[in-house]
Structure 1
């Protein structure tokens, strides 16, 4: 039995433009940023730095991801400005409490000699704080329909990283330290800008226990999904590092970013556009409309994806020359193409997963992500051991394909015979 779902369809063409522009431009700048930072840090330093920063993003996602989802949900349930600002304040307070505890643990590790060097320590502390605040700021700006400022935040962060890497390289930082310092400083400046935009909408010192408890009640069951989602989206680079080393992982990260960012961006853009229509169809119990909307979503992804894949194939020599540092080009062509189709399949997986979310079948979403994790751990690791980096990329393609099959089967099961 499908219950009535509250839907907000207030999404203008201007909003769509800024969502697409922010995603496209930040993705392009991120790829250019990998080229620049790779030149200064080398493949091994780049791999180590991105892997370490990925752990920070994991912790930030666990601290703030569930809270930001709760903020996005309850924002539309509250009709008064006062209640909405209380929600924002409670979200920031809840995240800060967790970050402070984590920072204390990191400090003890540093004092015990478990963190090597002041650059590592300061980068960890600063990045953990601001990357944990980023999802809250983003959720608020999106709920407020301030997509221009959201896009500015994305682009500003992507632009700052290579610029800061260039600056820190002239100050003597190299390898992993350069990556961590530039990424952490970029988070301070870009998230600081977003905090300035919402500063007047919050009273961080005024604590509302009932709002915090409401956020915890809704958000914390989603921690498992946040963890599994991170592992599925970023776990392949850690599996490759375990199988082939940090240098190989650095080459893979840079090459797969070129192939994978575009389909992921397409997936996010089309999700932003089609998801409200999917929710509307389910809310009205119009299964014919659900079929047509889902089909349109799939066709949009495939049409644009196939056109872009042809362009990537023909312009591959230019892409390799200008988007990859010389140390990163070995075998990159095959990795780029395989990664493109792997993440195109991952973008298609958004469709059945969002249907499951709309049906409030979050447990089945966790099942999808957990199956993806198992598939990826096996296929990427063993294909990488046997066939090297190209095999690891093929293993990711196989894992995402099996994950898509599982998600489609569970969505059909959740919808029942009506569909």
Structure 2
């Protein structure tokens, strides 16, 4: 199968499994706005932010190593899985013990610490199993598990938040149940027979750890880039402001639907195609298409963000829509940085990806301290965008110098002008109708400018098999 078609077909499979689940997450946004106060919603955002920080740290990023090593034909997949499983089990025991101890301190009151620790354990187990399933080619079960996870979580949210009024605790319990049932489904796909701790191999574990070791500080640096803004806002502005900022991020996160679906197939293609003679052309073509899709998705969000907040979101959150353009810039830059980062992991050179992320983290800390003080929650979004731009620029330059990707400055300037221009229209124009019309025109122009390139890469006669 043509490598572009394979990437496209894998993306379709993951999209079928993920779009429904992600759509359900957006349907839940109005429920959160009406059942959680801005303070409570701010707490749930802090909890998920901390979980995203801790999961790669406490698991030693072993689930990424499991994915990468399980894709190598020379590796025994059962050994890879069970070596990762032993590390995850040991980490889970430490997490739960520490959670029960810390729960005795009044500082953590209101944050459901024991439940949070269970959520952390469920998160790293689900990450381990799902990465293994994807690496061995079980794409459809991987996608189905994502749907199960989200729909179960959504159903539990309705019951625990709307009917039982459980607040923050109900939100956390919903996530735990969703991950547990999603993990149990994956175990029924046939990988259960691969689980036997007697396959644990010390030398393989050491090699996996050497691979994942730079990814641990990289995850910390990436977290600083992408989510530490919540903590800065919490400390410098307040928990209610963090709730507004969290809501402002909810809808733009639709961009991550596209990127997460794509990453799931792109990681596989990047590993398989990296050493081929036409790798540079392949990476460049996919990069260009990916960038334009990101831009179109972001413009679609801007077209409808104001009426969405006006009609479906509680009035106390309405002002948050104005942060959307900056949030989208940050998400675009972070998504492209993640795309380029996958190229590093394809060769197992994880040390280089860590260095590039550190540059962004340093910029993010300095920019957050300055801009949040000056512009409040708008400053947080601006700091994020700048830090991810730094990461993107360093990675792109390094890959360009090493002959892995081509450089087209005209495209980059064009993308920035288009998005800046349309963002200004959205913020200045009071008419939703005009905003939508301008958005349709801009998307049409972008699509026409890139149609010949997309057609030559994927061919218009593609048929999904």
* TM > 0.5: yes
1:417 and 1:126 map into 2 onto residues whose CA distance is 42
Partner of 2:79: 86
Question: Which residue is 2:309 aligned to?
Answer: 320
Match of 2:336 among 328, 342, 348: 348
Whole-angstrom distance in 1 between the partners of 2:395 and 2:284: 16
* Residues 84-105 of structure 1: CA deviation (Å, up to 9, x unaligned): 2232222112111011022212
Structural mapping, 1:147-162, within 5 Å: 147-162=139-154
Q: Does 1:66 align with 2:66?
A: no
Q: 1:368 aligns with which of 330, 334, 356?
A: 356
Indicate which of 72, 81, 96 corresponds to 1:103: 96
What TM-score do the two structures reach when normalised by structure 1?
0.84
Pairing 1:2-401 to 2, within 5 Å after superposition: 11=6, 14-64=9-59, 66-78=61-73, 83-111=76-104, 115-116=108-109, 120-169=112-161, 170-174=163-167, 176-197=168-189, 198-204=191-197, 207-259=200-252, 261-273=253-265, 282-286=274-278, 290=280, 292-321=281-310, 324-330=313-319, 332-401=320-389
> Partner residue of 1:3?
none
Is the contact made by 2:62 and 2:208 (CA closer than 8 Å) also made in structure 1? yes
Instruction: Report which stretch shifted further, 162-171 or 100-109.
Output: 162-171
Judging changes above 3 Å, is the alpha-carbon distance between structure 1 residues 325 and 155 closer, same or farther for their aligned structure 2 residues? farther
State the 1:418 CA deviation: 11
Higher relative contact order (CA 8 A, sep 6+): 1
1:329 Cα deviation after fit: 1.6
Q: From the superposition, tell whether residues 300 and 113 of structure 1 become closer, same or farther in structure 2 (CA, over 3 Å).
A: same
User: Residue 165 and residue 263 in structure 1: after superposition, are their counterparts in 2 closer, same or farther (change >3 A)?
Assistant: closer
The whole-number CA distance in structure 1 between the counterparts of 2:343 and 2:71 is 20
Pairwise CA distance, 1:173: 1.6
CA-CA distance at 1:308 after TM superposition: 2.9
The normalised TM-score by structure 2 is: 0.76
Question: Judging changes above 3 Å, is the alpha-carbon distance between structure 1 residues 64 and 195 closer, same or farther for their aligned structure 2 residues?
Answer: farther
Report deviation, 1:391.
3.1
Give the aligned length: 403
* Other structure's SS at 1:283 match: coil
Instruction: Provide the C-alpha distance between the structure 2 equivalents of 1:385 and 1:19, rounded to a whole number of angstroms.
Output: 41
Q: 1:113: Cα distance to partner?
A: 5.4
- Unpaired runs of 5+ residues, structure 2, are 408-465
Contact preservation (8 Å) 1:40, 1:166: no
Residues 64, 136 of structure 1: 8 Å contact kept:
no
